[in-house]
């Protein structure tokens, strides 16, 4: 590890990287602070920008957005009782009451420090655990890799919507779309319908602009335009956090960071689950549980440290196995692959310098997030009240410019529009979009490993049950499906009893 | 001019109120199951035309998409069977209410998006589409603040300029 860290430090500490980290952190904080705009939307919008960059600045920019998104959501949660991102909902429970007590700045500071601790802790876990998991991943063959892909897709399809069956339909659709273009093994064209531009396949960024960004614009039809009037003078309190409060925060922050890392490693789970689970754990462990929901510093610290502790942990399965921990990092996988960085042990050995630079960069991202949060919070807060009338066309222009810039033609913008319409129809049919994204990202890897494994076994499917790793993943798939189905049945029964 | 705008808005409001009352109820799971079963079937039917294979291949390019479509059909069949079972046992189906007004608004937004794309493509100037997009959305939101028009147009041109001159995108 040490032989990579010194050259990685040299690669990381360049003016270009520092600049892109700060741009990413700023954009991520702004996007996450605005209710209705998500971090995933922000990453999709800015993904085409990274296509012209090399791996390290590109990843630093996207990681800046991703990590700052974890903290940015808490700004509007604390200030206007509306979480900027879904995972800031737990922060809102205590953040806003503390703000109402005239301690807005203190609440924002607690959220910022807890987020920074969670983020740095998670980055360190990635730095130490990543290479170890990659070593295990190196023992996997094509059949095992196929099972890993199926595991990732099944679990994400299962947890991303109300119905597991619908999640699987979405995943199949995503995998099918990934088949468009030339066959990865024979180069014959598939599903191109005589359109030459489809021969190279559909670019992920273009599909995602339609699936996640343009559909959100169309969803404006469903929402009323609510003006978020915010008085930023309420942030003018002294923001003092007492020593006693720091002491009270220490334990929930550490425990929640551990929870965040553990939750983040499991594909399909995410920051929301981590923050709620940590919030409840902190409440159970607290000497003052009665303060929770009334402005408890422990509550804010627990929720915020957990949702940022997820950021580095989701990268562990991504960088080692190619299985994204959540939708946002799935997009980052394409940014990595464009630069020829394919997940697995080779990433930590042959391209170790770059990989360690990215992992160390995650620590730097959290430090800059803390600095920007400390000095620019008032600005982020003002951004919360940007009117939708201005925001909506600007996002559309970004989407179209991003789609055009990928290959420099309007055909791709048209494809993004078609995907937007498709996503609108899928939304009406209650089909979740995240499994489609996973299908698109994992499609090529799943198919290539599936076919290679069958080639090795001369067409016999027995190869998928032949090794201990295959059996382990098969058991994991069955256990995951069983747990998800049981959970959904419980949910349904509980909601049925409520209705009665 | 302002009277004409008021009249137009009044008419749109009256039309919107009428549409708001119109709702379509669809058995969502049943429809999803049937639609995607048919989609999978169509894909399987067009597969021989769309996916060329060599006879020498042990596992050809059709194997994976065929497997996917089989899984999709199985999922759809389960979805339909579940709903039919509910129907047979007189349990309530999973319904979704589609509001016609919301869908019309979405179509207007889609129109603005298509207009933006078409104008950019026809003129070859992205900035023309961007200006149309700003004006289209501000009118859709019935914005009356002149400052918003100015800010949005300046931002639109700034984004175009950033992509054109900073990132080197030629449009």
**pLDDT (tens digit per residue) in A380-390:** 777 767 788 88
A52, A393, A421 ranked by CB distance to B152: nearest? A393
CA distance A436 to A433: 5
Which of the four pLDDT bands, split at 50, 70 and 90, describes residue A221?
low
Residues of chain A neighbouring B78 (CB-CB closer than 8 A): 165
pLDDT tens-digit map of A108-164? 899 999 999 999 999 999 988 888 888 887 788 889 888 888 888 877 777 667 788
A172, A393, A398 ranked by CB distance to B137: nearest? A393
- ipTM metric: 0.91
pLDDT value at residue A414: 94
Looking at the 3D structure of chain B, how many domains does it have?
Answer: 1
Q: Give the closest-approach CA distance of A344 to chain B in angstroms.
A: 23
A169, A219, A392 ranked by CB distance to B72: nearest? A169
Count of A-B CB contacts under 8 Å: 189
- Compute the average pLDDT of residues A207-226: 79
A39 or A159: whose pLDDT is higher?
A39
Residues of chain B neighbouring A428 (CB-CB closer than 8 A): 96, 98
Q: Give the closest-approach CA distance of A195 to chain B in angstroms.
A: 11
Q: Give the closest-approach CA distance of B15 to chain A in angstroms.
A: 15
pLDDT tens-digit map of A340-374? 787 776 777 778 888 889 999 999 999 999 999 88
- Does any domain span residue B10? no
pLDDT value at residue A235: 63
pLDDT value at residue A51: 82
CB A462 within 8 A of CB A453: no
Q: HEC profile for chain A?
A: CHHHHHHHHHHHCCHHHHHHHHHHHHHHHHHHHCCCCCHHHHHHHHHHHHCCCCHHHHHHHHHHHHHHHHHHHHHHHHHHCCCCCHHHHHHHHHHHHHHHCCCHHHHHHHHHHHHHHHHHHHHHHHHHHHHHHHHHHCCCCHHHHHHHHHHHHHHHHHHCCCCHHHHHHHHHHHHHHHCCEECCCCCCEECCCCCHHHHHCCCHHHHHHHHHHHHHHHHHHHCCCCCCCCCHHHHCCCCCCCHHHHHHHHHHHHHHHHHHHHHHHCCCCCHHHHHHHHHHHHHHHCCCHHHCCCCCHHHHHHHHHHHHHHHHHHHHHHHHHCCCCCHHHHHHHHHHHHCCCCCCHHHHHCCHHHHHHHHHHHHHHHHHHHHHHHHHHHHHHHHCCCCHHHHHHHHHHHHHHHHHHHHCCHHHHHHHHHHHHHHHHHHHCCCCCHHHHHHHHHHHHHHHHHHHHHHHCCCCHHHHHCCHHHHHHHHHHHHHHHHHHHHHHHHHHHHHHHHC
Which sign does the torsion angle of CA A138, A144, A149, A154 carry? negative
Residues of chain B neighbouring A438 (CB-CB closer than 8 A): none
The model carries a pTM of 0.83
- B124 SS3 class: coil
pLDDT tens-digit map of A252-271? 999 999 999 988 887 766 77
B97 touches chain A (CB under 8 A): no
Which of the four pLDDT bands, split at 50, 70 and 90, describes residue A498?
low
Which sign does the torsion angle of CA A298, A300, A303, A308 carry? negative
- Compute the average pLDDT of residues A48-64: 89
Measured at the alpha carbon of residue A45, what is the angle toward residues A127 and B132, in degrees to the nearest 5? 170
Name residues 111-140 of chain B within 8 A of A (Cβ).
112-114, 116-117, 120-121, 126, 129-130, 133-134, 136-138
pLDDT value at residue A408: 85
Beta strands B95-99; A189-190: pairing state: unpaired
Which of the four pLDDT bands, split at 50, 70 and 90, describes residue A236?
low
- Compute the average pLDDT of residues A433-457: 88
Q: Across chain B, what does the average pLDDT equal?
A: 89
Question: What residue numbers bound the domain in which B148 lies?
Answer: 99-170
Which of the four pLDDT bands, split at 50, 70 and 90, describes residue A322?
confident
pLDDT value at residue A335: 80
Largest CA distance in chain B: 75
- Does any domain span residue B91? no
Percent of the residues in chain B that have a pLDDT greater than 70, as a whole number? 99
pLDDT value at residue A386: 78
Q: Give the closest-approach CA distance of A429 to chain B in angstroms.
A: 6
Instruction: Residue A87: name the closest of A273, A339, A211, A325 by CA.
Output: A273
Highest-pLDDT range among A226-240, A311-325, A458-472: A458-472
Structure tokens belonging to residue A54? 């090399």
Is residue B5 pLDDT above 60, yes or no? yes
CB contact under 8 A, B117 and A417: yes
Is residue A73 pLDDT above 90, yes or no? no
CB contact under 8 A, A172 and B113: no
- Compute the average pLDDT of residues A325-334: 80
Residues of chain A neighbouring B161 (CB-CB closer than 8 A): none
- Does any domain span residue B107? yes
**Closest residue of chain B to A413, computed from CA coordinates:** B117
Percent of the residues in chain A that have a pLDDT greater than 70, as a whole number? 93
CA distance A187 to A196: 14
pLDDT value at residue A269: 66
- Does any domain span residue B5? no
**Closest residue of chain B to A388, computed from CA coordinates:** B141
CB contact under 8 A, B120 and A410: yes
- Compute the average pLDDT of residues A401-407: 86
pLDDT value at residue A234: 62
Is residue B91 pLDDT above 80, yes or no? yes
- Does any domain span residue B157? yes
- Does any domain span residue B13? no
**Interface mutation vs chain B, best among A143, A223, A389, A432, most B CBs within 10 Å:** A389
Highest-pLDDT range among A42-46, B2-6, B133-137: B133-137
Distances (CA, A) of A474 to A235, A471, B97: 53, 5, 39
Name residues 143-162 of chain B within 8 A of A (Cβ).
143, 145, 148, 151-152, 155-156, 159-160
- Does any domain span residue B155? yes
Contacts of A352 (CB under 8 A, 6+ apart): A3, A4, A8
Is residue B82 pLDDT above 70, yes or no? yes
pLDDT value at residue A229: 54
Is residue A231 pLDDT above 70, yes or no? no
Name residues 4-23 of chain B within 8 A of A (Cβ).
none
């Amino acid at each position: 590890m040490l032989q990579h860290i010194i050259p990685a430090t040299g690669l990381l500490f360049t003016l270009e990287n520092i600049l892109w980290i700060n741009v990413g952190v700023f954009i991520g904080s702004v996007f996450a602070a605005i209710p209705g705009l998500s971090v995933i939307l922000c990453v999709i919008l800015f993904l085409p920008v990274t296509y012209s960059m090399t791996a390290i600045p590109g990843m630093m920019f996207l990681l800046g957005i991703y990590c700052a998104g974890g903290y940015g959501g808490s700004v509007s949660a604390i200030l206007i009782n509306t979480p900027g991102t879904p995972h800031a909902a737990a922060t809102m429970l205590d953040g806003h009451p503390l703000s109402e007590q005239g301690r807005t700045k203190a609440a924002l500071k607690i959220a910022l420090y807890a987020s920074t601790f969670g983020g740095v802790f998670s980055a360190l876990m990635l730095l130490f655990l990543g290479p170890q998991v990659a070593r295990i991943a190196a023992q996997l063959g094509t059949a095992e890799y196929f099972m890993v892909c199926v595991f990732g897709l099944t679990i994400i399809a299962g947890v991303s919507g109300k119905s597991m069956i619908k999640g699987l339909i979405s995943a199949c659709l995503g995998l099918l779309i990934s088949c468009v273009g030339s066959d990865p093994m024979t180069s014959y064209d598939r599903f191109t319908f005589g359109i030459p531009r489809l021969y190279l396949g559909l670019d992920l960024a273009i599909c995602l602009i339609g699936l996640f960004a343009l559909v959100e614009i169309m969803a404006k039809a469903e929402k009323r335009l609510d003006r978020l009037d915010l008085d930023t003078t309420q942030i003018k309190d002294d923001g003092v956090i007492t020593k006693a409060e720091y002491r009270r925060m220490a334990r929930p922050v550490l425990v929640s960071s551990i929870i965040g890392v553990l939750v983040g490693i499991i594909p399909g789970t995410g920051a929301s689950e981590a923050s709620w689970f940590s919030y409840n754990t902190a409440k159970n462990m607290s000497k003052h549980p009665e303060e929770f929901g009334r402005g408890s510093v422990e509550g804010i610290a627990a929720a915020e440290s957990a949702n940022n502790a997820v950021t580095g942990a989701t990268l562990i399965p991504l960088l080692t196995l190619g299985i994204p921990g959540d939708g946002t990092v799935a997009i980052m996988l394409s940014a990595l692959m464009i630069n020829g960085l394919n997940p697995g042990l080779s990433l930590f050995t042959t391209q170790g310098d770059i990989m360690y630079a990215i992992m160390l960069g995650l620590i730097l991202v959290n430090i800059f997030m803390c600095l920007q949060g400390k000095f620019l919070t008032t600005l982020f807060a003002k951004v919360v009240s940007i009117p939708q009338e201005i925001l909506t066309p600007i996002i559309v222009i970004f989407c179209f410019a991003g789609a055009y810039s990928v290959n420099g033609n309007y055909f791709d913008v048209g494809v993004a529009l078609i995907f937007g319409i498709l996503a609108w129809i899928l939304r009406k049919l209650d089909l979740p979009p995240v499994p489609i994204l996973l299908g698109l990202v994992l499609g090529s890897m799943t198919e290539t490993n599936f076919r290679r494994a069958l080639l090795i076994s001369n067409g016999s499917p027995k190869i998928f049950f032949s090794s201990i790793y295959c059996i382990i993943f098969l058991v994991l798939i069955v256990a995951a499906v069983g747990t998800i189905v049981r959970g959904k049945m419980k949910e349904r029964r509980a909601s049925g009893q409520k209705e009665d | 001019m302002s009277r004409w705008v008021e009249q137009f808005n009044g008419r749109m409001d009256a039309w919107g109120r009428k549409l708001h009352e119109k709702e379509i109820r669809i058995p969502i799971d049943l429809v999803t199951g049937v639609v995607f079963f048919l989609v999978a079937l169509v894909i399987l039917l067009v597969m021989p035309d769309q996916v060329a294979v060599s006879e020498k291949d042990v596992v050809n390019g059709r194997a994976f998409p065929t497997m996917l479509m089989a899984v999709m059909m199985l999922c759809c069949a389960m979805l339909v069977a579940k709903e039919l079972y509910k129907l047979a046992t007189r349990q309530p189906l999973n319904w979704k209410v589609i509001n016609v007004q919301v869908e019309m608004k979405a179509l207007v937004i889609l129109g603005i998006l298509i207009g933006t794309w078409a104008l950019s493509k026809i003129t070859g100037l992205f900035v023309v589409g961007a200006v149309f997009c700003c004006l289209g959305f501000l009118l859709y939101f019935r914005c009356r603040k002149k400052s918003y028009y100015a800010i949005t147009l300046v931002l639109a041109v700034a984004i175009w300029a950033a992509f054109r001159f900073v990132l080197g995108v030629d449009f």
